[in-house]
Amino acid sequence: MTYEEENAQNLVYFKMNMLQAEIKMQGMIAENKIRELNGNSLAYNEKSFTDLIEEYNIHHNQFPFAKN
Q: Is residue 4 situated within a structural domain? A: no
pLDDT digits (tens, 9 = 90+) for 4-41: 898 899 999 999 999 999 999 999 999 999 999 999 99
Q: Is residue 9 situated within a structural domain? A: no
**Could you tell me the pTM of the whole model?**
0.85
Q: Is residue 40 situated within a structural domain? A: yes
Q: Which residues contact 10 (CB under 8 A, 6 or more apart)?
A: 64, 67
Q: Is residue 49 situated within a structural domain? A: yes
Q: Is residue 10 situated within a structural domain? A: no
Q: Is residue 28 situated within a structural domain? A: yes
List phi, psi (to 5°) of 66. -80, -15
Q: Is residue 6 situated within a structural domain? A: no
Transcribe 3-53 into DSSP letters: HHHHHHHHHHHHHHHHHHHHHHHHHHHHHHHHHHHTTPPPS--HHHHHHHH
pLDDT digits (tens, 9 = 90+) for 6-15: 889 999 999 9
Domain count, the chain: 1
Structural domain for 53, as ranges: 18-66
